[in-house]
Structure 1
């Protein structure tokens, strides 16, 4: 099975010049936890609901004036639509992320694959659960080492 079999397509990137409020509205309308940032030809970053909470809300910033470019994650880990699903899972585990932007053979963004996509549509849904545990575990220990496995929250 390849990434193209399980990914979400038709992802319309948000402009890096958009406000956080505009991006959050898009996320709410599309019922997603992340949006790609850039253009149809070039990916510049990804913005997650967690980015908004930790980099805007916690600091009490104005969502109508802060720009996506100031909050997005610009270090991107991607995969290709023709990559085996196992490779995408491996990348998510190694990079401790739940989402990978998907690029076509020419490097253009065409979608997003999430751990949830892999769990729902992949061959082994239990594997996605185990990967999520591996992704979340280091963050739990860093957040509250005295509370063990139940402390903290996983990364978006």
Structure 2
């Protein structure tokens, strides 16, 4: 098994919470809280379900620290991270890992024939590596396209910030 042979469709989260771009940050925060999630994909509208941005917990902290309270009613389209970073459903988890590393992002929107099908997060990638120890050997190799120091930092971050010791 190699990282190139595992499709991102194998680890894709299809149950993605979305919100329309005209909703406000308080509505988005409620979606995150009610669903215990760290991000919401923003779509142009629910009918077409075309992703146009993402709001994350980190974005909300940034918005709270820099925005006046009256601006919380502003449409999320003015506050979301965009443009979105996408991959084709035909991509591998290696493609996702490299793109996340290069773009310094933690989630990727997955499209199939230009239609939104789900999201892959760095947490999803970490979980697949933890379930298959042979893959850990691959990512720790000196020839791996992501520097070992960066991979080690990501492993350490996930290992200690998740429930592995709880």
Question: How high is the TM-score relative to the length of structure 2?
Answer: 0.70
Gaps of 5+ in 1: 135-156
**SS of residue matched to 1:9:** coil
Aligned to 2:122: 115
Distance 1:131 1:98, change over 3 A: farther
Find the aligned partners of 1:93 and 1:111 in 2 and give their Cα distance: 20
- Does 89-98 or 37-46 show the bigger shift? 37-46
Root-mean-square deviation (CA), in Å? 2.4
- Mapping 1:5-154, distance limit 5 Å: 5-38=10-43, 39=45, 40-54=48-62, 56-62=63-69, 64-104=72-112, 106-122=113-129, 123=132, 124=135, 127=139, 130-131=150-151, 133=153
| 1:76 positional shift | 1.6
Find the aligned partners of 2:17 and 2:38 in 1 and give their Cα distance: 14
**SS of residue matched to 1:109:** strand
Question: How high is the TM-score relative to the length of structure 1?
Answer: 0.74
Find the aligned partners of 1:25 and 1:125 in 2 and give their Cα distance: 37
**Structure number with larger C-alpha Rg:** 2
How many equivalent pairs are there? 132
